[in-house]
Structures are given as structure tokens and as C-alpha cells.
Amino acid sequence: MHFLHPQLGWWLLAAFGAVVLIRWRGRRRYAAATTVKWIDRSSRASILRRLPFLTLIAALALTGLALMDPVLPYSESQIQSRGLDIVIVLDLSSSMQEEMERARPGRALQTAAVSGAPATAPRPPGKTRLEAVKSAIKNFVSRRRDDRIGLVVFSDNAYVISPLTFDHDYLIRYTDLVDDQILRGEGMTAIGDGLALANFLLSRQAIPGVKRNPVIVLFTDGENNRGRDPLEVLREVDDAAVRVHMVGVDLEEEVRRKPDVQRLVETIRARGGRYFDATSIRDLDAASRTIDAIEKGLLTSKAYVRDAPVAEWFAVPALVFLALTMGLKTLPYFIDVT
């Protein structure tokens, strides 16, 4: 332990010395016979009469130490917050570069034929699926202040972009850096590998002896076509008491109807998760808000704090000694009547 303002101690000591000197100089002097020293010592006042003065000195000394800002150089503390461990799993397959909310050719031609209206000029390109999902993720992260959140991306393989962290500004910055170039040369959709890596990350960063409610949020726009079987991984995830939510990002109708995709969605729902069909940017934000609303829990974690203040170690005893001094002064035995 050390003090942030040790120089204050010298000023307090000097002030205390000045008070003692003034009190000593201001004492009344009385004439007394030299035979006083021969008086029996048992007739002198008990030393207990000085107890209020001693407790007052202790209170002032402890107050001075508290004012000097005592701190511990390094300390370990537990942070308890109403939060979760959440891993976001983001699909980076090549189809995520397609435009979100794009007009379907078949539907556009059918609408023009029924209405008889001439074809309109092509509208400027909007956000890609990846850009839209990144915006939804950043909004989601900014609302989950008390959570440890990590980020995993996958295409042919799965990679950890950020471990579980309370530093959400760091996580948002790394989310901004995610684009189609970081997995250049890949383009498949290994959903099973992404879920497996997220489950591994949650187990690796789990705090022993602390009950937690881990969650995986999967964003994908396609079906699994590489790597491990997602259904097999979901069984492992369920054994680890991890809940999975899936957001289908602008899924094509023919993809949504495929048996493998339907089995994946049904398995997620059967194990307590939710599926969200997000065909627009507004749907993506609504899905993230819904997950934000339904996932609540209590999270306890350890943190190392530098220069942790411990002024209360001295301030509280100082108050106790001061109260004791005032209490003793109310007793007739300690009242000075001279």
C-alpha cells in the first residue's frame, strides 16, 4: 500500500504540532509548594482520565491517513453485473456481399406485368447483407453494457475476431474492420465450424465456480455446405447449457425450404433458442432488440485494479474513535471540572 498524497501528512503533522504548542503555551500556571512531589502517588488522577484524549488523537491520525489517499498498487476484485457471456457468430460467405433488400427479378417483372407500368430506372445500390448485419451487431453490442461479448466469423473455416470482453468499444472497432477481404480465397458456409468455435470460446473463458448463462447468436444467409454438421454441434452446445439464437439474413425462399435448413431451425427452437427471419435492415434491428430483451442474467467476473483506493480502511475507524471520544466525554468520570 502507498499514498497518493504523502506530502499532505507533513502539513497535517505540522498543524497538529502547532495546536499542541499553542495549547501548552496557553496553560495556566499555579504556584505550588515543592513538597507536592512528596505527596503519595496514589492520590494522582488515574491514567484512564486521559482515554478521551487518546481516542481523539487516534481519530485525528486516522483521518490524516485517509486524507493522504491510501491505495493498493494492484488488487483483484470481483465484478458482478446483470449480464451474460455472448458470442456472435457471423457468416462471411461470398453471398453476404449481395445487396440487402434487393428487388427479386421474378417478383419485379410480375408486378410490372400486372400493373402495366413501364419498368422504372434501377435504384442505387443499398447496403450489402454484411454491412447491414454489422450495423445490427454494433447496435446490439452498444445496448449490452453488462455483458462479456465475443465475435467469431466463418466461411470455409471459423476464426476468433474478439474473445469475450467487457471492452465494447474495442469490439465495435473490430466489427468495423470485418469485410470480405479478411477471408479472401474462402466463400463457403461452415455453420457447424462457427458454432463449434463459439462453444469452445465460451468454455475456455468460463469462470470456475460461477453460474452463467452463455448465449450464441448466429447470423447467416445460407445453408451449411462445408465442415461439421451443425446438428451434431448443437447437441454438444446443448450439453454445455448454451442457448443458440439464429438470424436468417435475407434467406432465399428456396434456401429456407431446404430440409437441412428446416432441421437446423427446428433443432434451435427445440433447445430453447429463437429463429428470426430478417429480410430487411429493419428486421435485423428488430431481431437484435428481441434477443436483447429476452436474454438477461447474472455474470460475475474477476478484474485486476491498479491503485485501488482504500481510504475507508482509515476513515471508518476514525469515525468510530471520534464517536467513542464524544461518548466518553458525556460520562461524569471523564469531565474535567478544573
128 near 134, Cβ under 8 Å? no
Claim to verify: residue 64 and residue 135 sit in the same structural domain: no
Same-domain check for residues 137 and 267 = yes
* 258: CATH: 3.40.50.410
Between CA 313 and CA 315 the distance in angstroms is 6
144 inside domain: yes
Same domain for 315 and 267, yes or no, is no
53, 152: one domain: no
Report which secondary-structure segment, H or E, holds 10: helix 7-25
Helices (H), the chain: 7-25, 51-67, 105-115, 129-143, 168-177, 191-204, 230-239, 253-256, 259-270, 281-294, 312-329
| Angle between helix 259-270 and 230-239 (nearest 10) | 10
**Would you call 335 helix, strand, or coil by DSSP?**
coil
Which pLDDT score, from 0 to 100, does residue 44 have?
56
Report the predicted TM-score, pTM, of the whole model to 2 decimal places.
0.60
Residue 39 lies in a domain: no
Please, what are the averages of pLDDT over each run of 10 residues along the chain (338 residues)?
76 76 64 52 62 82 83 64 82 88 50 45 68 92 87 93 92 90 86 94 81 85 89 90 90 87 92 89 87 69 65 86 85 68
In a domain, 214, yes or no: yes
- Full domain range(s) for residue 145: 79-98+126-302
Q: 228 with 330, same domain? A: no
Same domain, 269 and 321: no
Kindly state whether residue 116 falls inside one of the protein's structural domains: no
Question: Does one domain contain both 228 and 320?
Answer: no
Indicate whether 121 belongs to any domain: no
Residue 164 sits in the same domain as residue 256: yes
Phi/psi of residue 247, nearest 5 degrees: -115, 110
- Axis-axis angle for helices 230-239, 191-204 (nearest 10): 20
* Measured distance CA(306)–CA(67) in Å, rounded: 19
Pairing of strands 243-249, 275-278: parallel
Query: Is 133 inside a domain boundary?
Result: yes
Q: 35 in a domain, yes or no?
A: no
Residues 157 and 57 in one domain: no
Statement to judge: residues 325 and 195 lie in one domain? no
Task: Let me know whether 162 and 53 are in one domain.
Answer: no
192 and 211 assigned to the same domain: yes
The confidence score (pLDDT) of residue 245 equals: 93
CA–CA gap between residue 229 and residue 236 (Å, rounded): 11
* C-beta separation of 288 from 136 below 8 A: yes
Q: Which pLDDT score is estimated for 109?
A: 39
Q: State the cell numbers at 206.
A: 468460463
CA atoms within a 13 Å half-sphere pointing along the CA-CB vector of 213: 14
Name the residue with cell 468520570: 333
Q: What pLDDT score was predicted for residue 26?
A: 63
Give me the pLDDT at residue 110, please. 42
Q: For residue 48, what pLDDT is reported? A: 75
* Domain count along the chain: 2
- The pLDDT assigned to 168 comes to 92
Structure confidence at residue 336 (pLDDT): 63
Which pLDDT score is estimated for 115?
Answer: 44
Q: For residue 106, is it within any domain?
A: no
